[in-house]
Amino acid sequence: MNYEEAKEKFISTWGSLGSMWGINKAMAQIQALLFISTKPLSMEDIMKELKISRGNTSMNLRQLMDWGIVTKELVPGERREFFTTEKDVEELARHIAKERSRREIKPVIKTLKEVSSIKNDGTAKTKELIKQTKALHDLTETADSMINKLVSQEQNWVTKSLLKLIK
Amino acid sequence: MNYEEAKEKFISTWGSLGSMWGINKAMAQIQALLFISTKPLSMEDIMKELKISRGNTSMNLRQLMDWGIVTKELVPGERREFFTTEKDVEELARHIAKERSRREIKPVIKTLKEVSSIKNDGTAKTKELIKQTKALHDLTETADSMINKLVSQEQNWVTKSLLKLIK
DNA sequence: ATAAACTTTCAATAATTATTGAAAGTTTAG
DNA sequence: CTAAACTTTCAATAATTATTGAAAGTTTAT
């Protein structure tokens, strides 16, 4: 496998993985391209490299900036804008985990709380609904909190302790 | 919020959450319905309750069985088949994590390994590709292994130790 | 063996989601 | 101020993914 093949393979794999992070293909591919680029890229560069339209590139770059994993870079003497992504994988994971928690997990926890708090009328089906959604609520909340802690700045000592435990 | 409202809210929330587990809406909704049901349900029950077609129900039940989170239940004296889902949330999480790892994460780790193992020709861009994909590979592998351990049968003592660390 | 009761399959269709591209908008240089 | 260089917006369109429903398949009872 040569450089070009490896690059394409990486970008396409990372792209199809986007759904795991709740982001779309183009968004994931742009991030992947920036991630292995040795220098900031312009919109033109990205469009050409990934063969996607200007509009698509623009919209997805914006979303990546909203996620906090891509930033505009001003290159002195250049009119157009250049973009870079967070290059440190742990920092990247931190951003992604934080955003996912905020956008998707937290709202679900809230709903589970609401649903599990309905009045218990004593019927079997109500009891079951309350019991099961409560269990799901507690699990989700614990998992969310664990991931956020693991991935947060307190990371180091926790992660190291954990790795010792499980390795 | 009464029982019916709470039930609908739970099923629809869980359904829209399906994408987080890489499963589709109908699949997630069927699982949700079974999860709060006090007894096994027939295909007819599920179709009627969720207002989806027979074909859709059949296909998604099969997928849920492939995932190992729904099982056929034989009710004595009944001709048709009944279905139940794993009711224990931790067992459920275990199944889901294991399947996701096997279906999605493991193949990605393999690709990252391949890509990061290309011959280093000494150019800056090749060096960057190798460095970044290697970092991603290591992170992904560690995360996958952590989740699998946390969620596995060795769970108890590890989880408890961890909870003490982070709470 | 046959018919009834039930499930599965899959081509057609619908619903959803992503992408394009051209017009409108913005910024900078002169 | 105006023109050029660049970016954003968004309605139209394409691509993808989910759903239907009826025909084919299977199982069980008689």
Domain ranges of chain B: 3-85, 89-166
Which nucleotide has the least CA–C1' distance to A53?
C20
Highest mean pLDDT among A7-21, A113-127, B88-102: A113-127
Nearest CA-CA distance, residue B151 and chain A, Å: 11
* C-alpha Rg value of chain A to the nearest Å: 21
Q: pLDDT tens, A66-82?
A: 999 999 999 988 989 99
Distance (Å) from CA B72 to C1' D29? 22
Residue B116 identity (one-letter amino acid): S
Nearest CA-CA distance, residue A53 and chain B, Å: 25
CB of B96 within 8 A of CB of B69?
Answer: yes
Poorest-confidence range of A8-17, A30-39, B123-132? Answer: A8-17
pLDDT of residue B164: 67
Which candidate from B13, B115, B138 shows the least CB-CB separation from A111? Answer: B13
Q: Which CATH class is domain A3-85?
A: mainly alpha
CB of A36 within 8 A of CB of B129?
Answer: yes
pLDDT of residue A142: 87
Q: In the predicted model, is pLDDT for residue B83 greater than 90?
A: yes
Q: In the predicted model, is pLDDT for residue B78 greater than 80?
A: yes
Residue in B112, B146, B149, B154 to test binding to A, most A beta-carbons within 10 Å:
B146
pLDDT of residue B57: 98
Q: pLDDT tens, A122-154?
A: 999 999 999 999 999 999 998 888 888 877 766
Computed over every residue of chain B, the mean pLDDT equals 91
Q: Where are the alpha helices (DSSP H) in chain A?
A: 3-16, 18-21, 25-35, 43-50, 54-67, 89-100, 106-116, 124-151, 155-166
Asked if strand C contacts A55 at the CB level, meaning under 7 A, the answer is yes
Residue B57 identity (one-letter amino acid): T
Q: Where are the alpha helices (DSSP H) in chain B?
A: 3-16, 18-21, 25-36, 43-50, 54-67, 89-100, 106-116, 124-151, 155-166
pLDDT of residue B3: 97
pLDDT of residue A157: 59
Mean pLDDT, residues B146-160 taken together: 69
Q: In the predicted model, is pLDDT for residue B119 greater than 90?
A: yes
The tally of CA atoms less than 13 A away on the side-chain side of residue B74 is: 2
Protein-covered nucleotides on strand C (Cβ within 7 A)? 5-11, 17-23, 28-29
Nearest CA-CA distance, residue A38 and chain B, Å: 6
Name, in order, each residue with C-beta under 8 angstroms of B146's C-beta and a sequence gap of 6 or more.
Answer: A162, A163, A166
